[in-house]
Amino acid sequence: MISTNNLNIGYKDKVVVHDLSFSLDKGMFIALIGANGAGKSTLINSLIGVIPPVSGQISWKLKTDRVNPFNDVGFSPQSQLIDWYTSVYDNVYQGPLLAGFKTKEAQKTTKQALKLLDISDLSAKPVDHISGGQQQRVQIAREIAREPQVYILDEPTTGLDVETSEKLFTYLKQKVDAGSIVLTSSHDLTLLESYASHVLFLDDHEQKYFGPLTDFLDSGTSLREKYLNERKAIEK
């Protein structure tokens, strides 16, 4: 479980989002939504420990038999984190290797992840010889190949085509059904609505909603409509 209590996040003393209190548990697929600048990346970076909270608590309770508990977390940041001097294969292979997998197992999960993201045929290519969308696939494949319990993904579908985005979310949903936690930000509300179980909505420097997707939506309202209506109400 990952929980926050009266968490204020931001930069130096400037708070970007106030008073976040939520608990993310096994079997949850959480859509992190909000306008540009709402604080989604700041929250993600705080949860994984890159940005220290201004105040309040973040608590991780993860039962893991991996030597380093962080090896059980798959993290894909918004800006690409790629090793520019190696091939597509080696970039992905580094994921499971650094997560403590034995060579054979790492090779196996690397091949599976390359296949899932449809980049097997690019394996030998240097990463600076492929497109931006293909680089995004490499970054996600590396985290998938680690087979973590928790996936924290900052706009993973940016640059991905529709088919690959759906394939990725279908895979993540299977993982959630098997007990993983997925927290993902995205501006693709239609895609999120099809896969997410929960919504964490940031707006106006606050946590406006955290709870089940179905409770967030009024009957017959789409996530997109609901989001736009909430934004309008806030702006009034």
Query: Which residues ranging from 76 to 95 are in contact with ligand ATP (CB under 6 A)?
Result: 78
41 binds ligand ATP (CB under 6 A): yes
Tokens linked to 9? 């996040």
Q: Helix H segments across the chain?
A: 40-47, 88-98, 103-116, 132-144, 162-177, 189-195, 213-216, 223-235
* Minimum gap (Å) between residue 233 Cβ and ligand ATP: 19
Structure-token pair, residue 79 = 């800006």
36 near ligand ATP, judged by CB under 6 A: yes
Distance in angstroms (rounded) separating the CA atoms of residues 140 and 221:
31
Half-sphere exposure of 55 (CA within 13 A, CB side): 6
The site that binds ligand ATP (CB under 6 A) totals a number of residues, namely 11
Binding flag, residue 46, ligand ATP (CB under 6 A): no
Q: Quote the least distance from Cβ 22 to ligand ATP, whole Å.
A: 16
Q: Which is nearer to ligand ATP, 37 or 49 (CB)?
A: 37
Cβ nearer to ligand ATP, comparing 116 with 202: 202
37 binds ligand ATP (CB under 6 A): yes
Single-letter amino acid code for the residue at 86: T
Q: Is residue 42 part of the contact set for ligand ATP (CB under 6 A)?
A: yes
Q: Given candidates 2, 4, 7, 16, which one binds ligand ATP under the rule CB under 6 A?
A: 16
- By CB under 6 A, which span of 30-38, 96-104, 116-124, 136-144 interacts with ligand ATP? 30-38
Nearest Cα neighbor of 35 from 227, 236, 229 is 227
Tell me if 157 contacts ligand ATP by CB under 6 A. no
Q: What SS3 state is found at 202?
A: strand
Burial of 162 (0-12, 13-18, 19+ CB in 10 A): exposed
Residue 18 touching ligand ATP (CB under 6 A): no
Distance between CA 211 and CA 199 in Å, rounded?
A: 6
Please report how close the Cβ of residue 40 comes to ligand ATP at its closest, in angstroms.
3
- Cβ proximity to ligand ATP: between 101 and 201 the closer is 201
C-alpha of 149 from chain center: 12
Can you give the binding site for ligand ATP, defined by CB under 6 A? 11, 16, 34, 36-42, 78
